[in-house]
Amino acid sequence: MNELICKIQELKKKKNAIILAHCYQNIEIDDVADYVGDSLYLSQMAAKTDADIIVFAGVYFMAQTAKILCPDKKVLLPDLKAGCAMADMINLQQLRNFKQKHPDIPTVCYINSTAEVKSECDICCTSSNAVKIVESLNTEKVLFAPDQNLGRWVEKQLGNVKVITYSGYCPIHHNITVQEVYTIKENHPDVKLLAHPECKEEVSALADYVGSTTGIMNFVKNSSENKFIIATEKGVVDRLKRDYPDKEFIIIKENLICDSMKLCSLQDIFNALNNETFEIEVNPDISKKAHKCIDRMLEVSTAGVK
């Protein structure tokens, strides 16, 4: 085993720490991670852990979410520059302005948002549970922020709910074009296209399956097909190639890379654990309000699950 990995494992035991890693991270992070997955799964693991320290190999809003769910634990983000372009597209005042334009309508916020934004929303969601969350509100209209593409996809799935979306988006998924889909499908006509719902509505409409990162991975796992076109961040493709060496994966274009997600290295994780940096703090009043928003999501997500 790599010496650096051994040192990280030793520090984890010594400090009663766990490492949560999003599946857009550099694939070598998996060698030290206790849990690897999408935002919903990692949120659930953060809420359940009895560790004293959580090292979040992800981006800032994810570490904030872990701190909100575990206010008495030390939450560390290995690189403070690891942000999220989508989350940065909406701040508290912009959310308030959005809500003022559409009063008396429940507000759903995508987990890709800051603690401040979550604190003024009714319920949170992830890409894997967004449809279930919106449906649970049992209302004719909802406000959805910040991802316009996920919001529109949810509206299309439900059919009977008007989803009024904020204008945010994930630059990685938003920049996939219909022409790129047509081109790759022409070259691989019988291959299924698996896409993330953060893609534009017209791209999702051409996909054979639309789902979260975990959803895409599970689709591959359960499918008898042996070749897939993948329309999401490259980290997912890297893991699929590792986990299913007998299957072929074609990323829709090579530059689907989230630079922020790729900032974290094994050395950064070692430094974070060794020096207990960089600690994430959330204002207690903001945290309390945001906690309700996230808790409500987790309650709906686990309803009926034994």
173-251: what CATH class? alpha beta
143-168 pLDDT, tens digit per residue, is 999 999 999 999 999 999 999 999 99
Statement: residue 304 has pLDDT above 70? no
Lowest mean pLDDT: which of 31-45, 225-239, 241-255, 281-295? Answer: 31-45
Q: Do 3-84+261-282 and 173-251 agree at the fold level?
A: yes
89-99 pLDDT, tens digit per residue, is 999 999 999 99
* Spans of all domains in the chain: 3-84+261-282, 87-169, 173-251
pLDDT of residue 59: 97
87-169: what CATH class? alpha beta
pLDDT of residue 203: 98
Average pLDDT, the chain: 96
Lowest mean pLDDT: which of 32-46, 63-77, 292-306? Answer: 292-306
Among 121, 90, 54, CA closest to 297: 121
pLDDT of residue 47: 87
Statement: residue 306 has pLDDT above 90? no
3-84+261-282: what CATH class? alpha beta
